[in-house]
């Protein structure tokens, strides 16, 4: 698009545009995906290498992965499950246990907390004990770590599960964040909902989007188009 649509040929200008876009992706913890046509590789090789090198300097780190690896991770992550049990000790204490794929990063929102290191916005890595492959976390109010969703609003429920939040079943509770009714759930409404969640005073827990403590993901792939076999073979020569 940079080369064909906007007629940008200057490699420094391409590098600047891509780096600014990547910085926004990193700040939001999302996916930066560079897609190019093989025959333009000579134009984008330098800028792509520049952005990759810049991304490798960041902490928390960036997960550099193929689209196939990203698909596999999200499928494994969707199988994660939480269990809440009351402890045998006196007092209202509960244990929250998480079964998740290896490398999962679990965050807890710490509103008003100005100490320590934040992983993403006002979220910190959740302290917990790994027991038999499970993350175990003790709390007095498990509801405060969950989100209440209108029972009939399945698209919102599905979206928040994908975002790694714990969905609370049953009627809304004053101890937990409640989404209210959102219909329809457009892309803009999704962003507004996440902003509301981040601004809320509840210590919400979520499984982060990416593995191994990565803040965001970075993937590079090519789009191979061809009109006939000869055209296809010529495009392969660019590799």
d(CA 126, CA 121): 14
Residues 94 and 164 in one domain: yes
Higher-confidence residue of 102 and 38: namely 102
Task: Examine residue 74 and state whether it is found in any structural domain, yes or no.
Answer: no
Q: Which of 10, 45, 72 is nearest to 239 (CA)?
A: 45
Mean pLDDT of 135-141: 89
Band (127; pLDDT cuts 50, 70, 90): confident
Token pair for residue 129?
């004990």
Residues 201 and 168 in one domain: yes
**Chain segment 52-97, per-residue pLDDT in tens:** 999 999 999 999 999 999 999 999 999 999 999 888 666 678 999 9
Residues 185 and 103 in one domain: yes
**Chain segment 186-218, per-residue pLDDT in tens:** 999 999 999 999 999 999 999 999 999 999 999
pTM comes to 0.86
Residues 129 and 90 in one domain: yes
What pLDDT, on the 0 to 100 scale, is given for residue 225?
66
- Report whether pLDDT(238) > 60: no
In three-state secondary structure terms, 18 is helix
What pLDDT, on the 0 to 100 scale, is given for residue 219?
97
What pLDDT, on the 0 to 100 scale, is given for residue 92?
75
Q: CA dist 114 to 12, 59, 117, 121, 129, Å?
A: 38, 19, 9, 11, 24
Token pair for residue 98?
């998480």
- Is-contact 232 226, C-beta < 8 A? yes
d(CA 51, CA 28): 17
N-term to C-term CA, the chain: 20
Residues 126 and 160 in one domain: yes
Instruction: Return the half-sphere exposure (C-beta side, CA atoms, 13 A cut-off) of residue 150.
Output: 11
d(CA 185, CA 158): 11
What pLDDT, on the 0 to 100 scale, is given for residue 81?
92
Residues 194 and 130 in one domain: yes
User: Residue 153: which domain range?
Assistant: 79-207
């Amino acid at each position: 698009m940079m080369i064909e649509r906007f007629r940008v040929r200057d490699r420094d200008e391409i590098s600047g545009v891509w780096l600014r876009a990547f910085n926004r992706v990193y700040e939001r913890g999302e996916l930066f995906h560079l897609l190019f046509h093989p025959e333009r590789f000579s134009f984008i090789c330098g800028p792509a290498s520049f952005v990759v090198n810049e991304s490798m300097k960041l902490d928390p780190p960036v997960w550099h992965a193929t689209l196939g690896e990203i698909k596999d991770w999200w499928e494994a992550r969707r199988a994660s499950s939480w269990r809440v049990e009351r402890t045998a000790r006196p007092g209202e204490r509960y244990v929250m246990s998480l079964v998740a794929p290896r490398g999962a990063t679990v965050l807890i929102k710490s509103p008003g907390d100005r100490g320590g290191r934040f992983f993403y916005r006002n979220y910190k890595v959740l302290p917990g004990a790994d027991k038999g492959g499970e993350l175990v976390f003790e709390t007095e109010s498990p509801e405060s770590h969950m989100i209440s969703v209108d029972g009939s609003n399945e698209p919102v429920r599905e979206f928040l599960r994908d975002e790694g939040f714990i969905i609370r079943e049953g009627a809304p509770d004053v101890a937990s964040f409640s989404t209210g009714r959102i219909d329809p759930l457009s892309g803009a409404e999704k962003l507004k909902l996440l902003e509301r969640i981040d601004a809320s005073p509840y210590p919400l827990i979520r499984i982060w989007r990416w593995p191994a403590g990565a803040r965001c993901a970075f993937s590079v792939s090519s789009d191979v188009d061809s009109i006939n076999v000869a055209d296809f073979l010529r495009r392969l020569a660019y590799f």
